[in-house]
């Protein structure tokens, strides 16, 4: 395990990342921050125990869903379609959680760089506040959408009980049988619905972490743009310094900016490595599940509850994929602004020998910054707004071919 020692400067970013880590830890993820989770020792021990039990329970739930193919013989067409839908989604998203937990040390290194190392050199507080606000907005929007989807599935099951007298069934498991109306059967199905909420908490934590990492990298590029723009002040504010001193200060500052750019590129590469499986899985997840949902719309009863459930679930799938691809695409957009910031950073104020050195430095830095920074899924699909639209269209294309 990578360890970090020594004090660091507290900022809004470190406070936010610490709270984000605490949120994920409570919902079942490992500790990704550079310090121990800020919770009482007894609480931490209890949370770890509950988390392990929750992980086992979730895996048992998924295995039970697979076994239901062999044990459930009385499924309606809609129930069988729901079973396929849940097996695919639960398997893929659980894989996200396992993969993210496996990358714990790498995530800790990235969070340390983005939250502490790079901010100690230069930190635009306005951009920092934008980053925190954007992360909170997307995370909260995702949680609300997932919450509404889960509530709608519960309401749909309750209404079927009231209107048709069938059993309360949300997810299909190996046992009890969907037509088993005994007390034990109803209690077990209710327990499985609660376990489903536990599973959903893992989804919250993983998706929030991935969204936070991509937003942090994109805003670090914005922070870099602000840094290079601030170098102009070297020649405007330092009136008590000689021209040579100003030129030397600018040159040293530009070299620091190049180092910051290099470290930021490393962070973006590390985020690509950490989240590559999640990005790829989410693309496959969206293509398959949106197609399955459109088929469900064609085959399920045209009741308001069914329609609302499918629509909200569809929005959850599209939004979760969109949140990944939009924020990862913003990394490319913000990185593209960096060459312009370098060019307008004030190099033209240097003269004579200093001018020659600085111009060479600026040209090399701009050439490096002009290399596109693109995160990808499935190693070939760039994460961007355009790719997101293409994925949604592809799902409909597959559905239209089938129907």
Q: Is the pLDDT of residue 185 over 50?
A: yes
Write down the residue that tokens 């800790």 correspond to.
108
pLDDT of 144 above 70: yes
- Residue that wins the pLDDT comparison between 85 and 210: 210
| Share above pLDDT 70 across residues of the chain, in percent, rounded to a whole number | 97
Q: What is the pLDDT of residues 9-34, one digit of tens each?
A: 889 999 999 999 999 998 888 899 88
* Per-residue pLDDT at 4 exceeds 70: no
Please return the burial class of 140, using the count of CB atoms within 10 Å of its CB with bins 0-12, 13-18 and 19+: exposed
Mean pLDDT of 264-279: 94
Tell me which of 181-185, 201-205, 234-238 is least confident. Answer: 234-238
Counts of helices then strands in the chain (DSSP H, E): 13, 2
Q: What is the pLDDT of residue 5?
A: 55
Q: Is the pLDDT of residue 148 over 60?
A: yes
Residue-range domain boundaries for the chain: 12-402
- What pLDDT sits at residue 122? 94
Give the distance from CA 94 to its chain's centroid. Answer: 14
The answer for residues whose C-beta is within 8 angstroms of residue 389's C-beta and 6 or more apart is none
Preceding peptide of 176 cis, ω within 30°: yes
- Mean pLDDT along residues 312-333: 90
Q: What is the pLDDT of residue 238?
A: 58
Per the prediction, the chain carries an average pLDDT of 88
Ranking 6-15, 121-130, 226-235 by mean pLDDT, the lowest is 6-15
The helix or strand, by DSSP H or E, that contains position 382, with its residue range, turns out to be strand 381-382
Q: What is the pLDDT of residue 119?
A: 92
Q: Residue 293's pLDDT band (boundaries 50, 70, 90)?
A: confident
Residue 288 or residue 222, greater confidence: 222
The pLDDT of residue 88 is 87
For residue 186, pLDDT over 90 is answered with no
CB 298 within 8 A of CB 403: yes
Q: Which residue has the higher pLDDT, 330 or 94?
A: 330
- Residue bearing the bigger pLDDT, 134 or 58: 134
Q: What is the reported pLDDT for 226?
A: 96
Task: Let me know: does 211 contact 323? Beta carbons within 8 Å.
Answer: yes
Distance CA 88, CA 196 (A): 14
Q: What is the pLDDT of residue 2?
A: 45
Q: Specify which residues 284 forms β-bridges with.
A: none
Residue 1 has pLDDT above 50, yes or no: no
Per-residue model confidence as pLDDT tens digits over 51-82: 888 888 888 889 999 999 889 888 888 788 88
């Amino acid at each position: 395990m990578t360890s970090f020692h020594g004090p660091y400067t507290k900022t809004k970013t470190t406070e936010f990342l610490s709270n984000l880590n605490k949120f994920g830890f409570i919902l079942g993820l490992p500790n990704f921050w550079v310090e121990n989770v800020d919770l009482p020792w007894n609480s931490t021990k209890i949370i770890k125990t509950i988390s392990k039990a929750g992980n086992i329970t979730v895996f048992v739930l998924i295995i039970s869903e697979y076994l239901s193919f062999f044990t459930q013989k009385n499924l309606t067409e809609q129930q069988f379609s729901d079973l396929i839908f849940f097996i695919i989604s639960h398997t893929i998203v659980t894989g996200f959680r396992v993969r993210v937990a496996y990358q714990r040390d790498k995530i800790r290194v990235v969070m340390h760089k983005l939250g502490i190392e790079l901010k100690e050199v230069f930190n635009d507080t306005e951009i920092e506040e934008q980053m925190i606000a954007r992360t909170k907005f997307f995370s909260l929007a995702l949680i609300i959408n997932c919450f509404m989807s889960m509530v709608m599935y519960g309401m749909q099951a309750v209404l079927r009980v009231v209107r048709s007298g069938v059993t309360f069934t949300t997810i299909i498991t190996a046992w009890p049988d969907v037509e088993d109306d005994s007390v034990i059967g109803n209690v077990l199905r209710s327990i499985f619905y609660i376990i489903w909420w536990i599973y959903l908490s893992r989804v919250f934590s993983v998706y929030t972490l991935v969204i936070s990492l991509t937003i942090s990298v994109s805003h670090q590029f914005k922070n870099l743009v602000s840094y290079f723009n601030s170098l102009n002040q070297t020649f405007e504010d330092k009136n008590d310094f000689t021209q040579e001193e100003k030129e030397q200060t600018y040159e040293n500052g530009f070299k620091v900016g190049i180092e910051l750019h290099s470290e930021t590129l490393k962070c973006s590469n590390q985020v690509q490595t950490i989240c590559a499986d999640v990005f790829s899985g989410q693309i496959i997840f969206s293509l398959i599940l949106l197609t399955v949902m459109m088929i469900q719309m064609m085959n399920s009863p045209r009741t308001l509850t069914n329609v609302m459930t499918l629509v909200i679930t569809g929005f959850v799938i599209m939004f979760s994929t969109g949140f990944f691809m939009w924020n990862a695409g913003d990394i490319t957009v913000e990185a593209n602004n960096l060459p312009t910031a370098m060019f307008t950073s004030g190099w033209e104020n240097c003269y004579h020998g200093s001018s020659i050195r600085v111009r060479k430095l600026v040209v090399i830095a701009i050439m490096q910054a002009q290399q596109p920074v693109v995160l990808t899924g499935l190693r070939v699909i760039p994460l961007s707004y355009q790719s997101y639209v293409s994925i949604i269209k592809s799902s409909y294309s597959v559905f239209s071919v089938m129907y």
